[in-house]
Amino acid sequence: MIYKILLTIWMNLIIAAVFLYIEPAAGFPGEVSRILFFHVPMAWVATLAFLLSMIASSVYLITRKVNADFLAQSSAELGFLFCFLATVTGSIFAKATWGSFWNWDPRQTSIVMLLMIYGAYFVLRSAVADHEKRRVFAGVYSILAFCTVPFLVFIVPRITNSLHPEDTLNPAKPGMDIKTLIFFLGSLCAYTGLFVWMLRLKVRMLRIMDKERGRINFHK
Amino acid sequence: MHPTKSGRWITQTVSSTYLTEAVAIWFRDLRSEFRTRYAVNSILMFALTTLVTVSFSIGSFRIEESERPFLYAVLLWIILVFSALSGLSRSFVKEQEAGTMDILKLSARPQAVFLGKLLFNLTMLGVLELIIVPAFILLMGYKIKFPGCFVAMMVTGGLGLGAGTTLVAAMIAQANARGALFSALSFPLLLPLIITAIKGSERAAYGISAAGWPEVKIAAAYAVIMITVSLLLFPLIWEE
């Protein structure tokens, strides 16, 4: 409860500061640079969630502990949500700066492939009736899909040049002043906190659902 | 069912190795495929239908000379990939439908089963490419500057297709709604390969300096990685 209240205050502070205190970065038309504080943390959380999901899947395949699979499933679902939000916000940014919502920039290509891979992951989960089998299959598919990621990272950039602003992603480069950097990191923490909160809720929900299902089957 | 009557069925003896078991499964699948011709017929008919549609609607003169290497590579790979996706899942689904899955689990080691099925799928893909690629070249008037590189791209692309789909076929055979699921699960895994293969075929047709050899290497690397990872993961889904 206290965690939720602190997180709410922190996120509200960040949002207010980002719009009222920070001035828009030079080199971008109008106010569009403010997307940095929302889009990049979303993409970061999506990456974190997918990585966590892959690791949890591997742990499940080795130890066969059900909790690891709950974590893998919840993490993949939240990762999909944040990945989708990052795609939408990125697309709005693309319209404002490059002139079109979608132009198959390498970043857009790889994010769409990520969405497709995890879309397929959920389809697989819903198509296997047996619980044990479903968990194993999902883990196997998630590792197999992870092995194609290096190809996406190295091959897709060969095809076209990216217009994605890299400077804003890399705080080590000059291009972001210290005030922006502090609030950027603050926003990153806020989004990660939000993710952790949602993840705990989701895992708890799956655990309760599993327990209830067990009880119903027992009473039958 | 009288499995031992014919004397043709795979028995695991002390001296059998992974390779002999894999080859035994491969030959057994080829023999049963030769009798029913279910997979090969469905793949080839799908491929021929798409090829005829493409050829009829585009023909050999619709597309400008300069655009041809790229657009023809795209069309060729769309035909190949979707025909492969229409039939390759048969290798495992037929075991499930005939009820022979459990006996297969008992009679051979998991990796050998995977290798045998992979060899069978690669044979199917080989037949598909041998028929469709020359037909496509003839019907569309596809001019290729570097035939050697083009053939290498087809071979490595086919290897990658087989490598990326065999494990998925084994999974969906044990799931509900098999037909649609196979394409949905395989496509995201195959996307990097498809992009590479299209690029490689285009460059082999253009015939610029390095031709498509880097793409051939990437496709080969993809096939090797997918086969290795599948061999490691296959026992997990097979012994469930």
Q: What's the complex ipTM?
A: 0.83
Q: Confidence class of residue B105 from pLDDT cuts 50, 70 and 90?
A: confident
B199 touches chain A (CB under 8 A): yes
The pLDDT tens digits of the residues spanning B182-229 come to 988 999 899 889 988 998 888 888 876 666 788 888 899 999 999 999
Residue A73 has pLDDT above 90, yes or no: yes
Tell me if A37 is assigned to some domain: yes
Residue B49 has pLDDT above 90, yes or no: yes
Q: How far apart are CA B165 and CA A73, in angstroms?
A: 23
Tell me if A96 is assigned to some domain: yes
Number of domains chain A is built from: 1
Least CB–CB distance from A148: residue in B184, B189, B233 = B189
Q: Confidence class of residue B230 from pLDDT cuts 50, 70 and 90?
A: very high
Stretch A130-138: mean pLDDT:
89
Range of the domain at A151: 33-161+178-219
Q: Is B131 exposed, middle or buried (0-12, 13-18, 19+ CB in 10 A)?
A: middle
Pick the most confident of A92-96, B36-40, B72-76: B72-76
Least CB–CB distance from A144: residue in B177, B196, B229 = B229
pLDDT given at position B155: 94
Of residues B179 and A110, which shows the higher confidence score? A110
Q: How far is B68 from chain A (nearest CA, A)?
A: 18
B187 touches chain A (CB under 8 A): yes
Tell me if A27 is assigned to some domain: no
Q: Answer whether A133 sits within 8 Å of B240, measured CB to CB.
A: yes
Residue A180 has pLDDT above 70, yes or no: yes
A interface with B, Cβ–Cβ < 8 A, is 61, 113, 116-117, 119-120, 123-124, 127-129, 132-133, 136-137, 139-141, 143-145, 147-148, 151-152, 155-156, 158-159
Pinpoint the alpha helices (H) of chain B. Answer: 18-36, 38-58, 68-87, 90-98, 101-107, 110-140, 147-172, 178-206, 213-238
Tell me if A16 is assigned to some domain: no
Per-residue burial over A116-136, b if 16 or more Cβ lie within 10 Å, else e, is bbbebbebbbebbeeeeebbb
Tell me if A23 is assigned to some domain: no
Using a CB-CB distance cutoff of 8 angstroms, which residues of chain B are in contact with residue A128? 174-176
Tell me if A144 is assigned to some domain: yes
**Cα radius of gyration rounded to whole Å, chain A:** 20
Residue A163 has pLDDT above 80, yes or no: no
Tell me if A3 is assigned to some domain: no
Tell me if A168 is assigned to some domain: no
